[in-house]
Chains A and B, each alone.
Chain A
């Protein structure tokens, strides 16, 4: 025995027992149980407290639509709040805890809210917490936050892993109930590539929950055979435990597969996989969800959906009560009485709101036609009901059958709206389905087993025809059509007490009436005002009922009242599944330069530069502060020679007869006349005239250039150049390719840089000052025949070169350079020293090219050629960008010795108040200059060149700094450029 309520039969494994805990209580279940069925088998009826009023609640459904039975699963970092017990597969050792109470589940102190219910009606937030204003953040918000929400997050990082996957198929079938299985059998036999996905761990849908027969056999057995046949077909992929969560554009579907949720431990396997399914056709066989009827006190544990009561009896072999009643508005409800009777569960009563003859005879039950339940009793669980006639009936479970809502959700994900069908009193899919989708079975309003089987088969034949595949010409499976007569009956008007619509959010019929009175009549407003249909279940058992009641109040039809928009996901998806493996340092790829390992071996400190890791400085023993390392790297480079990895700069190879003309239009300055064997600095503008990137371009041959871009803009510049090439000037003969990753490149800077290079450059290449002057470039070889490119360019202001070799030689070259440089005490320097030296030299970088600055502001207005067309040329002429009193890039030095400048400081006249009106500019880059032995900065100030020597305030409220600065030339070091030409 695994619980006192266990019946015979069902799809559970009798031979094995699974031990689990609920709120610390040790219980047992069987393989094949959900947590909900195992709890019910053990007679546990109170499993949760409701969201707002903290009412006692029990299991309400047997599927993913469950509004009540939300629990926390597992413990510690693995704790998962708000899990639906009705879909949580039982495993040995499962730990579950109820949630949303203060004290204990049985004696919840917050149940006081239920007494305060008259004050907590719809919209009470907006009415109650208005005054006093000072309470908003200090009293109301903390109090509301403390009581809001349901389960608790673990507060720890998720220890599980999650994957993403991609699958392609001809035909996706969503749902493996009668329609889905019939469709899959037909499609599988035709050879189509089929994916059959079902959210349940046992395929078969309602065939497992009902007592219908298919092809003369029990439905569940037929389903098991069908699944077995499908599993043997190579072109069919069965995906149980997989919820198709959304229909996206062009036949793409999202699906969440739960891989290890049903196991005690994941053992390194991904917990869940978020699939992207690329489909040519899809058949939605998502079935239907039952809805309740609203009547007084209809939320007590023991009051359940009638179809769920059948599912627990037929599939899980669990009796949901000792004396069960049925309250129905349709023929389907009567099946619950019949099925339970057949299992030996006593039926106390069947109450049908319709007049006429009973739909079936039920032994020993009180049959009440044209009758209604007006209230119920029982504190922690149902003990009885009262009918409108005053008749009281003792029972511990009431199966409520209010009709079935087709699960139309996915049909509406592209903006389609469902349409009302009177015959079944439900919404069915409208005409505007996502492309390639068809709908079959109960999801399409076909609510009988026989109909669903035939409809699934028909839909598969149609889809195969559209795919150009021959159908297998099989016959659809056969079942008898059951009676489905139903009445449009929503709400017992003579109810006593509150009649619940949305159990999860505690929305009652009264709340809908209040919303109507206060003017919130549109369904979208009704939802926001009352919280109807929000949270984990999205109102799957509640919405249609509430719409029908709103329709009644407004005198409109239900079709006119309409539904709220259905959006993905169909059921909740953990954020972790959307993240997949993109967590922490794997959030995006890390790019490493070829000499990264070498730098790591030197103890380098690294900095993120986009996706790249770059060496920031190289600490040596005895250096305790980064400034010591950086100052040394600057001083040694300027004193002798330093080497810096500049591989991360974007490199673009440009070839073609029109390459020079093309560059002439990409750069603001001229490139057409650049001589072969020469390099030129270039500035790029956006089309609106603002500067956006700079770098150097070398002309290696008449029709061959190689460009460098900044590290940050490498991708954007390449994209924009491809745009110009393909879209603006498609007639130019020019071709581009990114070679950033193909070349490792090193700056060799300092007065001894030439002497160092002469030791490794092969002797046939003359790199003397005469043969290879400033801004020369050449394709050479080093180290006895290794091809290389040498550029005599300088970012530091020193005599300097950049040497590039094939990426695979990068690390070796770094070692060769430092070995050859040993006699000069060569140092490796990082990005920090690089930055110090470029500020000393007055070169603009990212802080100056910040998307607000023009060539004129950067002091490069003379470079912008007026005689040619280039990107940004026309709009760089706008008057406002060419004012005589515009900002100019200048240098700044603090007046007080020891004062430090800060980047971001605003420049003000000495006696001016610190406000926007008096803002004269800003400091963009700062560094401590070991060369000048002072803090220095670059920045922009109005009419700067005319104001050299003037003193201003550099005011920085963010960093709490206010120092006096002198405006100086931006070229602190070697302003005439003698060193770099030496």
Chain B
């Protein structure tokens, strides 16, 4: 597999470590009154889509960027690669 790194261009998938669903960016608010349930879902509940899937890859043997890779689980086609930091900022994560 080839992942088209937004900063470094196409790189072999062997340089990356896979983590999982990009929803791991959306860490719940620990101050929420339902924090325990929210964290349970955050840790353990996953969709298993047949089709496009947004997932986290870490360029461990490269520049250490975390990436959000949108991959079609049926064809392995990669339709989008973003810096996870940009995705996190866009989703309202900050400090």
Measured CB to CB, the closest approach of chain A to B40, in angstroms, equals 7
Q: Which of A248, A250, A687, A731 contacts B93 (CB 8 A)?
A: A731
- Chain A residues, CB < 8 A from B74: 415
- Chain A residues, CB < 8 A from B83: 726
Query: A877 to B36, Cβ gap below 8 A?
Result: yes
Q: B54-95: contact bitstring with A at CB < 8 Å (1 yes, 0 no)?
A: 001010100011100000001111100001110111000111
Q: Which residue of A lies closest to B68 (CB)?
A: A727
Measured CB to CB, the closest approach of chain A to B15, in angstroms, equals 12
How far, in whole Å, are A732 and B95 apart by their CA atoms in the complex? 5
- Chain B residues, CB < 8 A from A728: 25, 27, 88, 93
- Chain B residues, CB < 8 A from A877: 36
Query: A719 to B58, Cβ gap below 8 A?
Result: yes
- Chain B residues, CB < 8 A from A727: 24-25, 56, 66, 84-85, 87-88, 93
Q: Which residue of B lies closest to A662 (CB)?
A: B95
Query: B76 to A250, Cβ gap below 8 A?
Result: yes
The residues in A between 686 and 703 inclusive whose CB is less than 8 angstroms from any CB of B are 687-688
Q: Does A723 sit at the interface, judged by CB under 8 A?
A: yes
Q: Does A875 sit at the interface, judged by CB under 8 A?
A: yes
Measured CB to CB, the closest approach of chain A to B64, in angstroms, equals 5
How far, in whole Å, are A730 and B27 apart by their CA atoms in the complex? 13
Measured CB to CB, the closest approach of chain B to A282, in angstroms, equals 14
Q: B27-67: contact bitstring with A at CB < 8 Å (1 yes, 0 no)?
A: 11011000110011011000000000000101010001110
- Chain A residues, CB < 8 A from B76: 249-250, 414
Q: Which residue of B lies closest to A276 (CB)?
A: B12
How far, in whole Å, are A658 and B94 apart by their CA atoms in the complex? 12
Q: Does A631 sit at the interface, judged by CB under 8 A?
A: no
* Given A249-B76, A250-B2: A726 touches B65 (CB 8 Å cut-off): yes
* Given A687-B43, A726-B84, A877-B36: A252 touches B94 (CB 8 Å cut-off): no
Q: Which of B13, B17, B36, B89 contacts A875 (CB 8 A)?
A: B36
Query: B40 to A252, Cβ gap below 8 A?
Result: no
Q: Does B8 sit at the interface, judged by CB under 8 A?
A: no
Measured CB to CB, the closest approach of chain A to B65, in angstroms, equals 7
Main secondary structure of the interface of B (DSSP, over half): mixed
Query: A726 to B39, Cβ gap below 8 A?
Result: no
Query: A729 to B95, Cβ gap below 8 A?
Result: yes
- Chain B residues, CB < 8 A from A730: 85, 88-89, 93-94
Q: Does B7 sit at the interface, judged by CB under 8 A?
A: no
- Chain A residues, CB < 8 A from B87: 727
How far, in whole Å, are A875 and B12 apart by their CA atoms in the complex? 37
Q: Does A722 sit at the interface, judged by CB under 8 A?
A: yes
Measured CB to CB, the closest approach of chain A to B41, in angstroms, equals 11
Measured CB to CB, the closest approach of chain B to A57, in angstroms, equals 41
- Chain B residues, CB < 8 A from A249: 1-2, 13, 76
The residues in A between 263 and 282 inclusive whose CB is less than 8 angstroms from any CB of B are 278
Query: B1 to A250, Cβ gap below 8 A?
Result: yes
- Which residues on A are within 8 Å of B, measured CB to CB? 248-252, 278, 414-415, 435, 658, 687-688, 715, 719, 722-723, 726-732, 869, 873-875, 877-878
- Which residues on B are within 8 Å of A, measured CB to CB? 1-2, 12-13, 17, 19, 24-25, 27-28, 30-31, 35-36, 39-40, 42-43, 56, 58, 60, 64-66, 74-78, 83-85, 87-89, 93-95
9 cross-chain pairs, A with B, having the tightest CB-CB distances, nearest first? A731-B94, A731-B95, A250-B2, A726-B85, A249-B1, A249-B76, A869-B30, A726-B66, A730-B88
29 interchain pairs, CB-CB under 8 A: A249-B2, A249-B13, A250-B1, A250-B76, A250-B78, A278-B2, A414-B76, A415-B74, A658-B95, A687-B39, A719-B58, A722-B58, A722-B64, A723-B24, A723-B58, A726-B65, A726-B66, A726-B84, A727-B66, A727-B85, A727-B87, A728-B93, A730-B94, A731-B93, A873-B30, A874-B35, A875-B36, A877-B36, A878-B36
For the A-B complex with A722-B66, A730-B85 known, give 6 more contacts whose Cβ atoms are closer than 8 Å. Answer: A249-B13, A435-B77, A723-B66, A726-B66, A727-B24, A874-B30
